[in-house]
Amino acid sequence: MDFLLPARFEYLTTEKKIQFQYINLQSVKIAYLINKCISEFFMDNVQFPLNAVVMIAVLGEHYLRYIEYLTQNQFIKKVKGHSTASHTSTIYQLIDTLESIQVHQFYSFTLEKKLNKFHDKAKVDKEISVIPKSIRPKLIDDLYKIELDFEPALHYVKTLPDMDLRKYLKNLLMIHKIRDHEIFYTFDPYGRLHTNFTNLKKEIRNKYLTIEGDPLKSLDIRASQPFFLAQLLKQYHPDTPETQKFIDINENADIYLYFVAKYPKRFPVRDSVKKPLYQVLFDPESSNQQLFFKNQFPQIFKFIKEYEKLFKIELWQALQEMESKFIFIDIYINIMKSYPRIPVFTVHDSIFFQEKYFDGIKKIWDKKREDLITRSIF
């Protein structure tokens, strides 16, 4: 098992047990808990719960001693407690400086067995998601067929200048876990499959992953969320010149480049548009920072801000479910009909596969995209 450890905790790699408050704590369990807390940090969870049920299942009856050990060592601090009739959680915050972090391997059959219970393939059928249950086993099996060119990927991560600490730690841990086939997966309620590979930088996926030794190709939905908003407008918004303009840009051009051309001083490059545009789509409150969109598409802006009130569902949820149905039902299932044995994996709005199948899969992709556009009519 691969765990991230700051340099000051490296003694855990050589000492099997640590005496603390009159009992012996297992070093591998301390390392697991340190890694879990760091993982919460790089997932942008400034404060995070340590659920008592989960902690008991993994760490055993003395789980509070393990947490207290990290608290006394100034690694985490307790923020607040939270209890309901069904579970108890205490909220913690990471306070360690995270200096000189490295990935270390630990071996514990017992702990690994406990952790594997949380990733049991049989349990994925119970996860609520719009992703069909019939395709979930193959989606999981194919993750284990992906190969990583580890040394070049590690060099890339360690030498990339100015990488945010959270992103650095996330990618550092992911490439070690992929190398050691420690694959995780979870199907969320809104139609996304989260895996080691969704947590990798795009450059690593594109350069250092292979399947059966073959290079990979991918297809994705350009500006996915605005594209699916355009499909929603066909169903629920009046057919106006403004609506037609927005739809045409998203189906035949690039909405990000549109705003680059309109506001070159604010948006010097394509990527600089993404975060402000997502704030327009998913922040229920309007602000002066969103005027760039409102000035170009005032009625659509009004539709976005009123969507939840009108349809009793948040816009981001509706768009994500549309994306999921396109990727997994329109695309993935039809790829499996034509190429039932080839490994395919997804990264949210994109699919990855061996390069030699590109032409055939591209035909499926283009046809299903065109079908979506033509069936979403006013």
Q: What is the pLDDT of residues 43-68, one digit of tens each?
A: 877 889 888 888 999 999 999 999 99
What pLDDT is recorded for position 20?
Answer: 94
Contact 186, 129 (CB under 8 A): no
Mean pLDDT computed over 119-138? 80
Question: Residue 195's beta-bridge partner residues?
Answer: 185
Which residue type occupies 113? Answer: K
At 86, the pLDDT band (50, 70, 90 cuts) reads: low
**367 to 84, 207, 331, 358: CA distances (angstroms):** 50, 28, 9, 14
The model carries a pTM of 0.85
- Nearest CA among 105, 33, 97 for reference residue 65: 33
CA 313, 319, 320: angle at the middle one, nearest 5? Answer: 100
The answer, yes or no, to whether residue 38 has pLDDT greater than 90, is yes
Residue 321, classed as helix, strand or coil, is helix
- In this prediction, residue 147 carries a pLDDT of 97
Average pLDDT of the segment spanning 308-322: 93
Q: What angle do CA 365, 209, 102 make, to 5 degrees?
A: 135
**378: pLDDT confidence band, cut at 50, 70 and 90?**
low
The average confidence (pLDDT) of the chain is 92
pLDDT at 51: 85
- Residue at 201: amino acid letter: K
SS3 319: helix
d(CA 49, CA 40): 9
pLDDT tens profile 260-300: 999 999 999 999 999 999 999 998 787 889 999 999 999 99
What span, in angstroms and rounded, lies between the C-alpha atoms of 322 and 233? 13
Contacts of 280 (CB under 8 A, 6+ apart): 290, 293, 301, 304
Contacts of 258 (CB under 8 A, 6+ apart): 249
Task: Name the residue among 120, 96, 122 with its Cα closest to residue 33.
Answer: 96
Query: Is residue 232 pLDDT above 90, yes or no?
Result: yes
User: Which structure tokens are listed for 11?
Assistant: 């003694």
Segment holding 19, helix H or strand E: strand 17-20
Please work out, in degrees rounded to the nearest 5, the angle formed at the alpha carbon of residue 182 by the alpha carbons of 180 and 185: 150
Measured distance CA(67)–CA(78) in Å, rounded: 9
Instruction: Please write the tens of the pLDDT for every residue from 190-230.
Output: 899 999 999 999 999 999 999 999 999 999 999 999 999 99
Confidence at residue 85, expressed as pLDDT on a 0 to 100 scale: 56
pLDDT for position 54: 86
Q: What is the pLDDT of residue 116?
A: 80
**Alpha-carbon gap, residue 285 to 5, rounded angstroms:** 40
- 194 close to 226: Cβ distance less than 8 angstroms: no
